[in-house]
A and B are shown apart, each in its own frame.
Chain A
Amino acid sequence: MAKKIGFLVNSDRCIGCHACELACKNEYQQEPEIRWRKVYPLKEDSFGGFAREFASLACNHCEDPACLKACPVIAYTKREDGIVMHSKERCIGCKNCMLACPYKVPEFNQKTKKVEKCHMCAARQDRGEKPACVVGCPMEAITIINVNDTIAGAERSLPGFPNAAITNPTTRFIKPVVGRQVRRDA
């Protein structure tokens, strides 16, 4: 099978520091309100007992991208390796992709009047470099994987993540493991 790359998000390592978001912003000097990558807090009771954990997500570079289907100007293309690219040249800013994406990934840039989103640092990857978020994550919690490989512990969803059957995202997750708590008031 051909190589199909995706993000592996390790929520067991993530501490919700937001460095990935800002590493991405730094690399592409995005407008202040634009975030291609976002850190989401997970619901506290998702993993038994009380815990606050996070998931860092950018574009999920879906196998069946809803954005690509919805876009009227073919601004979206899917590369051989699975990266969903968005062409700023083609985009006319109709925002239809923003409606279609279940993960709220495409964002409208008020300055350029066009949509933009994560391209998995395709150009960096083509040069043999890792994406800015992967390099920038101090916890080493984001990696690029070949989705066709079997990766221990990797799951297709986390509680609260929209149904993966809709667009088949290539993002994989490692669930947080909550340690034992010896509380005073327990």
Chain B
Amino acid sequence: MMGEWALVLFTVLSQMAAGAFVSLWVLDTVKGNMKEATGTFVSQGVVLAMGLGLLASLGHLGHPLEAYRASAHFGTSWLSREVVLFGLFFFLSVVYYWQWRTGGARHLVGISGSIVALMAVPTSGMVYVLAAIPAWNNFGPVLFFLLTAVTLGPLYAAVLLTIKQYSLGKSLFQFVIAALFCSFMSFALYLSLLISAGDVTALTGWNTMLSITFWLRLFIGWIAPLGILGYVLAQQQWHISRYMILAFALVLIGELLGRELFYGSAVALTMFGL
């Protein structure tokens, strides 16, 4: 499934936007000391990422101009639900940004946007939970999509906040380290489950293991950022800002590679072994 760049970009960017939105809302709610200009800037970043994601998703369609009709089958189609929820999330993030910018009341938008974001990401995962593709027909897609949101999202928010000289505590990074570790461990577990299953599921597992993308993803997306963040956090005097963009870039590339691998390695049920 090479060439599924549209889906790779859409899913990764939308999950990043969702994670960043929630991060912003949590920081705003918990710490409550954020300048409006900072919040405006971060929420603007969320709108930008989500907008780019939606734009990218059109690239997957044969008829992008008719994308608006994709919400029609909300009743049974996870794709329709995904479209509706991410559409709504985009709308709420625009409103959130507007409220930050104009100084209007933002908590209601923040909480509802966060709830929609947290619903939209697993819904996106559910699109791929298909009996026709046994390697996806499990917790995998939902879990990995959520993990992308909770690793990449906070880092994205952190990069934007740092640009605006917002001082971040260690806790966000501790959270990201935990999430990255979780991501790595769950993928290892998932991969071993795939390989120990039979047929096309195992084939998916081997496709993954044997691809260069997997090893790149392993070093770029997990080991390197874990190392950097771990090193920085272990210092007495810590200056995260220097490493912030590097860690974010590594995780972003890692997630993009991982998503390409997700689409590229999956083997569907075969017809008579073909």
Contacts and interface: CB of A to CB of B under 8 A. Distances in A.
A166 B132 contact: yes
Interface in A98-120: 99-104, 108, 112-115
B259 to A, nearest CB: 15
Contacts of B274: 40-41
Interface residues of A, number: 41
A94 B62 contact: yes
B62 A108 contact: yes
Interface stretch (B34-42, B64-72, B101-109): B64-72
A73 interface: yes
Contact of B133 (A68, A74, A99, A161): A99
A166 B270 CA distance: 14
A39 to B, nearest CB: 10
Interface in A67-101: 68-74, 90-96, 99-101
A22 interface: no
Interface string B79-97: 1100100000000000000
A93 B77 contact: no
B76 interface: yes
Nearest to B62: A93
Interface string B126-150: 0110111100000000000000000
B79 to A, nearest CB: 4
A19 interface: no
Interface string B51-77: 000000000111100110111110011
A160 interface: yes
A92 B66 CA distance: 6
A90 B63 CA distance: 10
B253 interface: no
Given A101-B132, A102-B269, A95 B69 contact: no
Contact of B63 (A66, A68, A93, A96): A93
Given A73-B69, A92-B61, A100-B130, A57 B76 contact: no
Given A55-B272, A71-B77, A73-B72, A113 B63 contact: yes
Nearest to B68: A92
B273 interface: yes
Interface string A37-54: 010111100000000000
Given A72-B79, A96-B79, A162 B70 contact: no
A162 B274 CA distance: 11
Contacts of A41: 272, 274
Interface residues of B, number: 30
A53 B40 CA distance: 67
Nearest to A70: B77
A92 B271 contact: no
Contacts of A103: 271
A113 B72 contact: no
Interface in A143-169: 158-163, 166-167
Interface string B191-211: 000000000000000000000
Contacts of A104: 268, 271
Given A70-B77, A162-B271, A112 B62 contact: yes
Given A66-B132, A94-B62, A100-B132, A71 B272 contact: no
A11 to B, nearest CB: 11
Contact of A69 (B61, B76, B268): B76
Interface of A: 38, 40-43, 55, 57, 66, 68-74, 90-96, 99-104, 108, 112-115, 158-163, 166-167
25 contacts: A40-B271, A66-B130, A69-B76, A72-B71, A72-B79, A90-B69, A91-B63, A92-B61, A92-B63, A92-B66, A92-B67, A92-B69, A92-B70, A94-B60, A94-B61, A96-B77, A96-B79, A99-B128, A99-B130, A101-B132, A102-B131, A102-B132, A104-B268, A114-B62, A162-B132
- Across the A-B interface, give the 4 residue pairs with the lowest CB-CB distance, nearest first: A93-B62, A113-B62, A160-B272, A102-B132
Given A40-B272, A43-B273, A92-B67, 15 more contacts: A41-B274, A42-B272, A55-B272, A69-B77, A70-B79, A71-B73, A72-B73, A72-B77, A92-B66, A92-B69, A92-B70, A93-B62, A99-B268, A104-B271, A162-B271
